[in-house]
Structure 1
Amino acid sequence: MYPLQDGYKPKIKEFLDDINDRAGDIEIRSSNMSTRLFGTFDAVTALLNHAMRASMQKYGKIVFVCKYLQGDARELKGYD
């Protein structure tokens, strides 16, 4: 998430709080540079769609960068 305005840290924190509050069965792992979500495609996509829409409606122009990987990537090293 890249909010295109000053004071971006609280906006990012609010987005992360939103997805964590609504995660359900989705596992969320955050680091300094990224947040990875693990779950079914439909559940992860629905969660992201809700949180991204809420952020854009509240704050306006925001860039989101997402990468989707088929399969379970929890065992990949170097991302924590």
Structure 2
Amino acid sequence: MVSGLIEHIILRGVAILQYADDTIICVKHDLERARDMKFLLYLYEMLVGLKINFNRSEIVVVNDRNWGQIYAEMFDCQIGYFPIKYLG
């Protein structure tokens, strides 16, 4: 199960932000949930027939940036930093 962020402010939290063809997925620091998210993204690719370009994707880690490399390797993408380049 993937849950969102700021659940104390917004019911069920914020998990996905979308605008045009850009998507930001927000997940808590949890390697098991990250693996689940990666699996869901692959399922999406197979079911819908669209390919996610992980080479153009970024992982942005809040607070403990040491985990950034682990997540970037898991998702086969780059490490991003704030401020993020949105719609770019």
Q: Return the TM-score normalized by structure 2.
A: 0.40
Structure with greater helix share of residues: 1
Q: Return the TM-score normalized by structure 1.
A: 0.42
